[in-house]
Chains A and B, each alone.
Chain A
Amino acid sequence: MTVRSTIVVLWRYAPIFILLAAWQMASELKFVPDSLLPSFFDVVHRWLEFLADGEIAKSGTFLWDAVRSFFASTVVTNTAASMWRGMVGLGLSIILGVTLGIAMAWFQKLRDFFEPIVMISYPIPKPALIPIFIIWLGLGHISKIAVIFAGCLIPIVISAFNGARGVDRYLIWSARNMGTREGKLLWRVVVPASLPDILSGIRMALAISFILLVSSEMLAAKSGLGFLIFFLGESGEYAGMFAAVLTITLLGFFADRAYLTIMRRILIWREE
């Protein structure tokens, strides 16, 4: 990164720095009591402690111990648990959702069967499923993965379906004209043509996955960032709770940025 582009990025996020400064000021000047809103510096301090609190059996090699301690820390272990659940749940919903959405667009019989099911599932507030999945699947990873999977599936199915249905018939005719056989049309034309819709559906699902991840972990879990937020809040450890919220915020932000970058790369052919 050049100096110039660094300045551009800093300038773009300047409002966030102003907000953080205002937060710190409000605490310093005692506008808000610490019990309601701990100061930003306290939160960061707590966050750094959470990064350094990994308890390990010392091996004596300093660097090796530091690395192991980092991976055993509160922040890293809980982030890892959350990310694992999120990625598996989202990944499964992408695989099934894209397949189902495109198949529904292509095969009338499948559409007739699944359309009412999708329509009835669409308005269900997905967090309402959390208690059910916990009863069925327990407190571990599986119940969270199932909630995220169920919540992300529908928007992905719908976007893949709309994308595949909206494929310009002239593109399909073109391909058939050049000798593409029926069986290969899906892969050679329909899938790439619906990619923009599919990818924006996945982006929506990514945001949903964070909401469901944290809320399901808050409700019942033994690890994860949602669990941490809930647990620390319950024990009155507000600086720690805010540190956990900060972690999930950063995680969500970087996940979306990274996704956007990848999406732009894949869709480089699209007109701006």
Chain B
Amino acid sequence: MADIVARNVRKIYNPDKRYPVLAIDEVSLEVRENEFVAIVGPSGCGKSTLLYMVAGFLDLTAGEIKVNGKPVEAPGPDRGIVFQHFALFPWKTVLRNVTYGLEEQKIPKAEREKIARKHIDMVKLTGFEHHYPSQLSGGMKQRVAIARTLAFDPEVLLMDEPFGALDAQTRGVMQEELLSIWSKRKKTVLFVTHDVREAVYLADRVVIMTARPGRIKEIVDTKFAGYKSTEEVLESAAFAQKTHQIWKSVREEVDKAGPLDG
């Protein structure tokens, strides 16, 4: 069982300084086991902040976050994260990047290489094991990052605009691959994006956040049952309607945020 529960979470940046910033306020959210939840909202609404607090990188000012029933205190490999700009170790090869987490988990060398190669194969990068990140394209780097995170088998997958730095074609391919991986290896996913279509397409539920301070505005069910293929979902009236509804709701918040928060 791996669920995420956030209760009355608040985050203030620079609380002791002259200009404290209330980034997130009164956020309560439950992500069920193996559920795929996307968070959308205008820039600066604190959606990444929320994700970093679940990951344990940032402290909460108030409230609590529990993963798997345990309060989050520090980062840990039970919650794997994928960042927008990949954050691969540039001095390590693809293989060594993927084995890193396994090494920290004290998995024996032969076994971690086997696991790493399996995951490199899963993201279709076989043959690139000994390349350095600087020799790869953006899409390939993000595949490595996904392989690296899935390799140490976290129960929760946190994704911070993972496809935001990729071109449109690559993004489409990566979204499909993520869904296919996720359907084979169910995980609880919290996925931050500013791309509404992406959120509706990937997630079971989409959380819409308000302009700063980020609060939860509404949560929309975006599970599409009874379709045979992705194509069919994407072309359906229901998909278009949901996307439009959420897009309008986010747009209101973007307008509220005003030019300063652009």
Contacts and interface: CB of A to CB of B under 8 A. Distances in A.
Given A171-B87, A177-B80, A269 B132 contact: yes
A123 to B, nearest CB: 33
Nearest to A271: B134
Contact of B101 (A179, A193, A270): A179
Given A193-B91, A195-B91, A178 B134 contact: no
Interface string A166-181: 0010110111111110
Nearest to B145: A174
Interface in A133-185: 168, 170-171, 173-180
B152 to A, nearest CB: 6
Contacts, number: 65
B75 A170 contact: no
A270 B90 contact: yes
A33 interface: no
Contact residues on A (Cβ < 8 Å of other chain), bracket: 10 to 19
B91 A179 contact: no
A contact patch SS: helix
A236 interface: no
A220 B79 CA distance: 64
A188 to B, nearest CB: 8
Interface of B: 52, 55-57, 74-77, 79-81, 83, 85, 87-93, 100-101, 104-105, 132-134, 148, 152
Contacts of B100: 175, 178
A178 B101 contact: yes
Given A178-B100, A179-B104, A269-B134, A173 B89 contact: no
A167 to B, nearest CB: 11
B235 to A, nearest CB: 37
A189 interface: yes
25 contacts: A168-B87, A170-B85, A173-B52, A173-B75, A174-B81, A174-B88, A175-B89, A176-B56, A176-B74, A176-B75, A177-B77, A177-B80, A177-B81, A178-B80, A178-B101, A179-B76, A179-B104, A180-B104, A189-B89, A192-B89, A192-B91, A269-B90, A269-B91, A269-B134, A270-B90
